[in-house]
Structure 1
Amino acid sequence: MTDTMSAFKIAEHARYIDEVAVSSSPQRLSTLLKVLEAQGQSIVAPSQRSGLHPLVVPLSSGTDKADGGDSITGLLRWPDSTSRGMPVVQMGRGGRQVMLLARSIDEYLHRALAEEDVQGSSSSVREAAGAEGDAVMPQGALKESGLSSTDAYLTRKAGMYCDVVERLAKNHLERGDKMSALITAEWYMRKNHFPGWARPFEFNALLYDSIGRHEEARDGARVALRFPWWSLRSSFQEIQKLAQLEGSAKEVQDKLDMASSISKNGIPPGMAAARSPNQIAMDAADFLLNTVAAGESDWDAIRAPLADKYAEAGLSAVADFVRLESA
């Protein structure tokens, strides 16, 4: 790709996020795009959203190592808050799950630079990141840290990454230290680490199941299903089975709502405090997204009704972004 074309595509993504997604273009977006390209991915137009989660802005495409399909790296535009920023995510086009790669662009860059330093066979990421990469992670920082492993460095110096924390827990388990594995999984679930994501709770449930603590695994799976189902790594059906909740997506959601209301208030849902129209609309929007993760719809089919629900919730800018057809 020529420098001119790179600059054009970088500007296109920044404009799209600012004007279409109606969110502030994140710092170091241009550096992220250059690094993704250096990692062998192809930059795609931000408007190419067909088959993707309606709140994902695509950045690049590559090949999924698991199934050989098209894998899209993008940014997630949360509908109701900017406090969580725009995390870097990945999903297959037409896939049901969205995987969190990094909570921020800086965390993605920091990891990419650290892993390249460990491999030592190339400097393409460092060269693509340039001065902004050096600001995130100076060259040689990993070696100078004196930490024993890349995972230890990433956790202490770079940020929090789902697969890194999970690997730490699994390593404890492989050494026969169940207590340390469970403590790590508990730490993983703390709300300030991955707000809005089901994966930490899903992992905790699967860990309990793997060591024969099936009742705790069931309860953990039910907690995971109170978060967006598209943020699970396993299929919805697998976690539904672990949670011992039969039925359609609507039936499972109703059971979760009833259990949640009783546990919080000690009274049935019908007698609980009234929810505002905005809250009801947001719940309906969340459920529409969940139906896709459950395999009962697809992303493009729910785009219009989802936009309607966001509009009812008073999020007109988000509604317009969701409603906009892919180019």
Structure 2
Amino acid sequence: MDLPVVEVHKHGVWLLAKNVDQYIHRILVEEDAKSPDDTDKVLYGASSEAGKKLYRKGDFAESQIANLDSYLLKKVGLFPDVLERKVMRHFDDGDPVSALVTGEFYTKKGLFPGFGRPYVFNAKILLRVGRISEAKDAARVALKSPWWTLGCAYQEVADIAQWEDEQIEYIREKVTEEGRQEDLKKGKEPVQVALDEAAFLLDLASIEGSWDECLERVAECYKEAGLLEIAKFILYGD
């Protein structure tokens, strides 16, 4: 299974690429576009044979594609930041219909599974054009994803969704010992209870960016679920 490449921010992670090859391909294209001649090709040289399999130097210039973002979308893959820039360019060009169509495409099922960011961005552009009810619905869909995948502070999305603090309080109750025991009494498997607690703790940490405070307990939850390598990775330090 391909592992996504992400960048860590205060309130969670930002998806850089769906997999490592796609990320390397992108940065090689960006380097080539920035320096069309053979100077400053540090990344291309470092990537060795692996890089040559992904990208041939000079292909961006030879393609005659209008701009770098268009090349990336056509030749490399779909990237959240590139799609978001495409939407904003449509707005800048006075074409809100194309902006909305692209925003809707961004949320297409299967493009970025598990990430709430596409729905957050779509909610914001719907709000921009005055479609408040649809923006609220999109924000609520986003909040069904892990909150650390929203690409922004939780409260920004909660405000669009018109959510109060009930959901936060519900999750806080779930991570208490009483909440765990209640789930077990209802017949939920101990492994699932542990995994749910880890997910809830990460959601809560994303609100304030308080990741360090929950690391040990999250790792313990994964140990309880039998995922020892993940627990070890979480606690790994430089």
Q: Which bracket does the TM-score occupy, shorter chain normalised?
A: 0.7 to 0.9
8 Å contact kept, 2:83–2:106: yes
Q: Does the C-alpha gap of structure 1 residues 249 and 208 become closer, same or farther in structure 2, counting only changes over 3 Å?
A: same
1:183-208 deviation digits (Å, cap 9, x = unpaired):
21121112321111111111111111
Task: Give the match for residue 302 of structure 1.
Answer: 214
**What letter is aligned with 2:16?**
L
- CA 1:274/1:140 → structure 2, altered by over 3 Å: closer, same or farther? farther
CA distance in 2, matches of 1:293, 1:309: 18
2:175 aligned residue: none
Provide the identity percentage: 39
In structure 2, stretches of 5+ residues that fail to align are 173-182
Q: 1:115 to 1:304 in 2, by over 3 A?
A: same
Which shifted more, 149-158 or 240-249?
A: 240-249
Q: Is residue 221–residue 242 contact of structure 1 (8 Å, CA) maintained in 2?
A: yes
- Corresponding residue pairs, total: 223
State the shift of 1:113 in Å.
1.4
Check if 1:289 corresponds to 2:202: yes
TM-score using structure 1 length: 0.62
Aligned-pair CA distance for 1:96: 2.4
How do 1:120-139 residues align onto structure 2 when only pairs under 5 Å count?
A: 120=35, 122-139=40-57
Please tell me whether the aligned partners of residues 11 and 151 of structure 2 are also in contact (alpha carbons under 8 angstroms). no
The one-letter code of the counterpart of 2:137 is: D
Match of 1:313 in 2: 225
Q: Structure 1 CA distance, aligned partners of 2:112 and 2:133?
A: 25
Residue correspondence of structure 1 range 3-152 to structure 2 within 5 A: 83=1, 85-92=2-9, 95-120=10-35, 122-152=40-70
| Alpha carbons 1:246, 1:252 under 8 Å: kept | no
* Preserved contact between residue 198 and residue 232 of structure 1 (Cα < 8 Å): yes
1:164 — aligned with what?
82
> Counterparts of 2:8 and 2:219 in 1: how far apart (Å)?
21
1:326 is matched with which residue?
A: 237
For residues 139 and 145 of structure 1, what CA distance do their matches in structure 2 show? 11
Q: Which residue of 2 aligns with 1:10?
A: none
Change in CA separation of 1:283 and 1:202 when aligned onto 2, cut-off 3 Å: same
User: Which amino acid is the alignment partner of residue 287 of structure 1?
Assistant: F
Give the Cα separation in 2 of the matches to 1:119 and 1:320. Answer: 40
Distance in 2, Cα, partners of 1:252 & 1:239: 18
Q: Distance in 1 between matches of 2:193 and 2:165?
A: 22
Q: CA deviation at 1:139?
A: 0.8
